[in-house]
Structure 1
Amino acid sequence: MTEDLIVGKDGLARPRWAASNDMLRTYYDQEWGMPITSEAGLFERLSLECFQSGLSWAIILSKRESFRQAFAGFAPEQVALFTEDDFERLMNDAGIVRNRLKIRATIANAEATLMLREEGGLPDFVWSFKPEQTPAPHSFSEVPTQSPESKALAKELKKRGFKFVGPTTMYALMEAIGMVDTHLVGSHRRGSSGIWA
């Protein structure tokens, strides 16, 4: 067992970051790395990863319900119609991360998500970059921060008008939605996505 894994009172091994509080533990146990294949679900994860850039995931997760309320449940049809009044409302919403560029990017990404329906939609597009194999890290130092697939996904999304979708952010998205399994070997969640054995 690596020092990056902690065995909790329930006898389950989790990475250090997921063992630090109940919110992160619940997210790790129930959500992180599970397949997301709906457009709204993927748009939400993409948006939250965009806002997380440069911040801790704990901050974003603690504000997730406020983000959902502020961004119309991350329904791309609604977010794409946001006006300057909506932008100002978001900039004054203390419940979310008030970053001008990230708010503008989320609105632009909603518009790009709708346009992507002509190519089969956001889920099919994102999942088409699923790699042939997944990492099997034993420690945090072995977890990649980007991959050839995340670089290609970022490049193609940018071509289609998406913003704040760099290769590192896209790799984090791929981890969050189960496209790669970077649960540490020895974690109780390793292989739980149903995609990777």
Structure 2
Amino acid sequence: MSDDRDLTTALRDVADAHQTPPPVPGTEIRRRAARRRRRRHAALAATAAAAVVAAVVLGLTTVLGGGPEQRPAAAASDTTPSTLPAATVDLSRRLLTIAGRELPVSSGTAQHPTPTGLMTVTAKFPTKTMDSAALGLGGGYDLTLPWVVELRNADGRTNYVVALTYDEQAPGKRDVTHGWIGLRTADAKWLYAKVKPGMVLSVG
């Protein structure tokens, strides 16, 4: 009998050890799921907040701490001189060469020679009133000329390319100006449309 009781007790202990726990009520399951969701949301919010703080600190360090600061590139100026001449003026041949085209010119007389060297286009005027004395026509009156291009050398001296409306036959044949570079009216108009401030002419 004692052996039967011991066997019965042993079998009951084994059954108790492998007994399935009682089911958890549905309300408790939902409550646990809600707690897990809240913990996940809190963790995500903390991560996002940390990222924002790190970005702000990095930005302040860059701007206030002497770090590299991105700045927009400066726009290229239209008046910046080119490194190479866009046109050449050969005074001995009385020719201005630009974009593969040769334009006959009239330059300064022996008494009033045309300045030589690199000249930069600084302005353009569809018409400009000139002193007749500066044109070599004698003083006492003004003359309005079309298609005027203003030039300036490294020393700040100003010269002009003008349309010789008062002597259309001179360009390419004789020098009649007080140092200016004179063109026929049609050529002066074409050149006026072609050149821009900042372009360089080599005069020599």
Same fold (TM over 0.5): no
After TM superposition, the score normalised by the length of structure 2 is 0.21
Q: As a proportion of its length, which structure holds more helix?
A: 1
Q: As a proportion of its length, which structure holds more strand?
A: 2
Larger of the two Rg values belongs to structure: 2
User: Which of the pair has the greater relative contact order for Cα pairs under 8 Å at 6+ separation?
Assistant: 1
